[in-house]
Amino acid sequence: MIVKALRVGLGQLIVFGDWISRPAKLKRDPAAQARVEQQAEGLSLYQFHACPFCVKTRRTLHRLNVPVALRDAKNNEQDRQTLLAEGGKIKVPCLRIEEDGKTTWMYESKVIIDYLNKRFAA
């Protein structure tokens, strides 16, 4: 019980720290931002709200100004089951990439962040 309370409290501290130190969004001209938004339509991030690796990934999305659908794999049973059934395991963060009729499930925050930087950095 005490361990759970500590974990929840630490998670909230991580989320608060992210909120107060969030990086500035990348500025693009409207046409370039529209292209990014169109490319991001096929992306979904399966995550836990207070997971430090998920926070790190969300910070990158915010910094790159990429609007990605967030899926709560901890509190939303449908999202959790989709992650397990289609992704193969309940491990977060996981980026679901749908393009050209093909779905790819990308795990590991470092791999996801590298992919996002290569695809969306100016």
Residue 55 inside a domain? The answer is: yes
pLDDT reading at 122 higher than 70: no
Residue 24 inside a domain? The answer is: no
Number of compact structural domains in the chain = 1
Residue 11 inside a domain? The answer is: no
Mean pLDDT of 79-90: 96
Distance separating alpha carbons of residues 112 and 18, to the nearest angstrom: 18
Instruction: List C-alpha distances in Å: 37 to 17, 28, 66.
Output: 27, 11, 7
Residue 17 inside a domain? The answer is: no
Q: Tell me the pLDDT band of 15, cut-offs 50, 70 and 90.
A: confident
Instruction: List C-alpha distances in Å: 66 to 49, 91, 103.
Output: 18, 22, 19
Instruction: Specify whether the CB–CB gap between 51 and 92 falls below 8 A.
Output: yes
Mean pLDDT of 50-60: 95
Domain with residue 46: its CATH number is: 3.40.30.10
Residue 110 inside a domain? The answer is: yes
Element (DSSP H or E) covering residue 82? helix 77-82
Residue 119 inside a domain? The answer is: yes
Phi, psi (deg, nearest 5) at residue 106: -110, 120
For tokens 């909120």, the residue is: 19
Residue 29 inside a domain? The answer is: no
Give the range of the structural domain holding residue 108, as residue numbers without chain letter.
Answer: 41-122
Residue 25 inside a domain? The answer is: no
Res 36: pLDDT: 95
